[in-house]
Amino acid sequence: MAQFRIERSPAPVWMRFLIPLIAVVITFIITSILIIWAGANPLEAYYYFFIAPLSSRVSLIEILVKSTPLLLTGAAVTFAFSASFWNIGAEGQLIAGAMMAAWLGMVLKGVPPIIGIPIMLVGGFIAGVLWALLPAWLKVKLEVDEVVTTLLLNSVILFLVSFFLNGPWRDPISGWPQSAEIASGTMFFKLIPRSRLHFGFIIAIAVILIEWFVLSRMSFGLRMRAVGMGKEAARFAGINVQRTMLVSALISGGIAGLAGVGEVAGIHYHLIEAISSGLGYNGIIVATLAGLNPLGVIPAALFMGLIDTGAQSVSRALGVPIYLGTVVQATLLLVTLGLFVLQNYRIRRV
């Protein structure tokens, strides 16, 4: 009888780009049963999931809209992870940025956009930095596990948002738990008229390009990567490991804060409780799909934007529960991540 053995050997680079396609096929097979159960035709469902979003201009733009915050949270997570600071708090840092944007939007009445928008960006970045400061400081000074602290702070800031929206910031006009509409001078302009695609998309791409330059071309980036891949060796080479981790954690928080600014200033114009609903966590998935390569964040975030859009279109078109779209989305992500791991193994006959 033939015997088989599993061994490690990395796949060629083109495999990375093939994986999403293979994942779609596998996901189709796995989730078909559920779709039939819900009384829909699987083939039709998949048309609305993957093909329909790509075939109209409106939904193509919508993919870019959905991927805008993911580009930033993905970039944020990639930056921190590169220095092995496991920042699970992009969600909270995004919300901190959004809160700052809402507040600035309230106080900057009557300023022109040329002043308002830069202040929004700087303010949101600083808010994200501040929300990342405590876990980063605890990590480098006392070796407190940053996974725990960043994750727990995500819940803390949700309660803070809830407090402000039900108290001092409650919209005086509508009475809803949302902040007042931000000043017009602080709103991001649209890239395409009558669409939701806003200036934040440009910011996101710019941030990613800068991040790529820092990580691959600057000495600070090389230090970060050295710390991320071998703390001992980095220390031996004379790198201040603590400071490098601290700085990369704070910048990561700042980038996530920018994502929050984009959601408030580009989409909602209010702060709402559901401002993020998982954008920070999805940033971790984006960073993982990107293999912690800043440039890889772009296709990964677009892919996530596609399946987000697809999940909505399938439930709308076929009248299946919205949860079915979410199940397909989650399955697809699991399969994709699984394939990224499995691509490094070969089964060989002994």
Partner 1 sequence: MDAIKMQDITKRFGDVLANNQINFNLKPAEIHALLGENGAGKTTLMRILYGLYHSDSGKIFVNEKLAHISSPKDAIQLGIGMVTQHFTLVPTLTVAENLVLGSSGTAILNAKKIQAEIAEASQRFGIPVNPAALIRHLSVGERQRVEILKALYRNARVLILDEPTAVLVPQEVDALFESLERLRKEGLSVIFITHKLNEVMTVCDRISVLRDGCMFGTVEKAATTQTELACLMVGRENFGVTRQAERQPGKSLLKIENLCVLDKKGLPALKEISFDVRAGEILGIAGVSGNGQSELSQILAGMLKPTSGNFLVDEQDLTGAEPAQITAAKVGCILEDRHSAVVSELSVTENVALMHLDQFTKQGVLDRKMMRKEAEKLIAEYQIKASPDDRIRTLSGGNMQKVILARTLSQSPKVVIAAQPTRGLDIGATEYIRSKLLEQRDRGAAVLLISEDLDEIISISDRIAVIYEGSIIGIVPTQTANAAQLGLMMSGSTLKNREVASGTISN
* Contact residues: partner 1, CB under 8 A: 217-220, 222-223, 225-226, 229-230, 232-240
CB of 16 to partner 1, least distance (A): 18
CB of 238 to partner 1, least distance (A): 3
- Evaluate whether 23 touches 343 at the Cβ level (below 8 Å): no
Nearer to partner 1, 36 or 233 (CB): 233
CA angle 281/339/317 to nearest 5° reads 65
**What residue has token string 């915050």?**
69
CB of 140 to partner 1, least distance (A): 15
Torsion angles phi and psi, residue 248, rounded to 5:
-70, -35
Nearer to partner 1, 163 or 236 (CB): 236
Token pair, residue 47, equals: 């048309």
Nearer to partner 1, 18 or 237 (CB): 237
CB of 229 to partner 1, least distance (A): 4
Torsion angles phi and psi, residue 16, rounded to 5:
-55, -40
d(CA 179, CA 162): 11
**AA letter at 115:** I
Nearer to partner 1, 226 or 250 (CB): 226
Nearer to partner 1, 82 or 336 (CB): 82
Beta bridge partners of 348: 5
Nearer to partner 1, 3 or 219 (CB): 219
CA angle 220/214/76 to nearest 5° reads 105
CB of 84 to partner 1, least distance (A): 11
Q: How far is CA 59 from CA 48, 49, 63, 103, 242, in A?
A: 11, 11, 6, 32, 45
CB of 232 to partner 1, least distance (A): 4
Kindly compute the dihedral angle of the four CA atoms of residues 312, 317, 321, 324, in this order, to the nearest 10 degrees.
-60
